[in-house]
Amino acid sequence: MTKHDQKVVSQQHSVQTRDIAFAVCLKVQKDHAFSNLLLPAVLEKSSCTAHEKAYITDLVYGTLRWQGFCDAVIAANMKRSLSQLDTPVLIILRLATYQALFMATPDYAVASTYVLLAKKQGLSRQAKFINAILRKIVMRSRQEWESILVSRIPKDHSNERLAVRYSHPLWIVNKLSESVNYINQRLQQEKNTPLLSLPDILAMDNQPPTVSLALRPGILSEKDLHQQIPHRAKIQKGEWSPYAYHVKGISPNLLPGITNGSIGVEDEGSQLAALTLACAPLPVPMHEDRWLDLCAGPGGKTAILASIARQRGITVTANEISAHRADLVRQNIRQLRETITQITVRDGRDYSPEKDGLFDRILVDAPCSGLGVLRRRPEARWTKTEEDVHELTLLQQQLLETAITLLKPGGLLAYVTCSPVLEETVTIVDSVCHRHQQIERYDTVQALHRVCPHIPVASHGDVQLFTEPHHTDMMFISLLTRHA
């Protein structure tokens, strides 16, 4: 192949990568599609090389994460508001801005490539406008644009500055700030314990998450896992969960253990939530025979609970309100069918009253805002609203109330959310404990330390994990017990 032919092929690949990135971002914007589901499906059907797929993934997820920052840069170079732009034009400008400021692409290539993309999408009339805006944007670096944008915000508006700098909606920065301040008040009472840093947490929110595998305890050994990992891939033991392994350089779906259900894909924070409940000693030692996962879908935590229950001769009931998600639970626990005695499909708030006081351990992995998993769902920060949080708190409270009636005296209940928002976490637990004198907090930190003794958290009370310093999703875990 001549150099000319190689250049032509390279240009074709370049056009294809941007076409795919544009199509995915447009569908996410217009149809509210989930990028973490849409993009892998699109790439699987494409003829792209592994390198091109990695490039597209960076371009799409990066553009979605840094959408707020990119929009601010674009707006700074326009005489009209962003709301006046057609959606396809705005998507093209966002992609080009991210590529120019974050991916070290030559300035001339950014403008020419995206003008070509605009024309290909039937936007010839807007091509001149797109070119003019991009020519202005590439004149400065990301750091220069950050300084310009932040300098326009008063110094005493620190959260507004952080919102622009780290590309988060202001209301989310405010919620995270409240949670960080709450935890830091606890940490200040302890010696030699570093305080949490809100900027570090926001920065980590913009980093791609690692792929975390979860072994099913008693189903697959570490040696068996290593035999499934090809030599080109990298595997590393997890930081906190004894069953966690981080992998790079391979799609998890290609592993036989994923196919047969002996391995799951589960963030370490989620693994710790299930393990903390399963490994904590009951306040009153007693024979255990039944556990419940009240909101089981998609079943990753269910499988961890069932794996441990299997080793102890205990059965597990899984419940999920959605039939589709109940099917996902069935797929996740297919190696554990003798332990999962029943998968019910019903609203957890109306779980059968004849089962009152039946279960020794109950997991309530409550539906929540999902603000703790923004690394994995990059567009969610722009689609969620503060009103969503308020609407979910009633549901969370009702699910927890129901779970209390299903718990045996002396048993343990874990209330878990993938959110650090105080209204969805501490406030919910405080409210339930206040209304029910027979319910009290169990020391969740001490229970967690049975699983991983060295994880940096406060000495006592509920557990709140953060992207930094824990490098996990921001999981909240609170164990409760019921007196006789």
Q: How far apart are CA 461 and CA 218, in angstroms?
A: 30
Catalytic residues: 418
Q: How far apart are CA 17 and CA 22, in angstroms?
A: 9
Q: Which of 482, 469, 361 is nearest to 416 (CA)?
A: 361
Q: Which of 174, 188, 206 is nearest to 423 (CA)?
A: 174
With contact defined as beta carbons under 8 Å apart, do 82 and 71 qualify?
yes
Q: Find the DSSP H helices in 46-86.
A: 50-65, 67-76
433 bridge partner residues: none
* 3-145 and 211-265 share one fold: no
Domain 268-482 = CATH 3.40.50.150: yes
Quick one: how far is CA 172 from the chain centroid? 15
Angle at 398 between CA 392 and CA 404, to 5 degrees: 135
- pLDDT value of residue 353: 67
With contact defined as beta carbons under 8 Å apart, do 176 and 191 qualify?
no
Kindly give the confidence (pLDDT) of every residue in the chain, 484 residues in length, as a single tens digit, with 9 standing for 90 and above: 344 333 333 344 467 899 999 999 999 999 999 999 999 999 999 989 888 999 999 999 999 999 999 999 999 999 999 999 999 999 999 999 999 999 988 888 888 999 999 999 999 999 999 999 999 999 999 999 999 999 999 999 999 999 999 999 999 999 999 999 999 999 988 877 789 999 999 999 999 999 999 999 889 899 999 999 988 889 999 999 999 999 998 888 889 999 889 999 999 999 999 999 999 999 988 999 999 999 999 999 999 999 999 999 999 999 999 999 999 999 988 888 788 778 999 999 998 767 677 899 999 999 999 999 999 999 999 999 999 999 999 999 999 999 999 999 999 999 999 999 999 999 999 999 999 999 999 999 999 999 999 999 988 999 999 999 999 999 999 999 998 7
Q: How far apart are CA 111 and CA 348, in angstroms?
A: 53
Q: Is 287 exposed, middle or buried (0-12, 13-18, 19+ CB in 10 A)?
A: exposed
Domain locations along the chain: 3-145, 211-265, 268-482
Domain 211-265 = CATH 1.10.10: no
Count H helices and E strands in the chain, helices first.
Answer: 21, 12
CATH superfamily entry for domain 3-145: NusB-like (1.10.940.10)
Q: Where are the beta strands (DSSP E) in 301-392?
A: 315-319, 340-344, 359-365
Provide the token pair at 26: 């447009």
Q: Which of 416, 273, 401, 413 is nearest to 348 (CA)?
A: 401
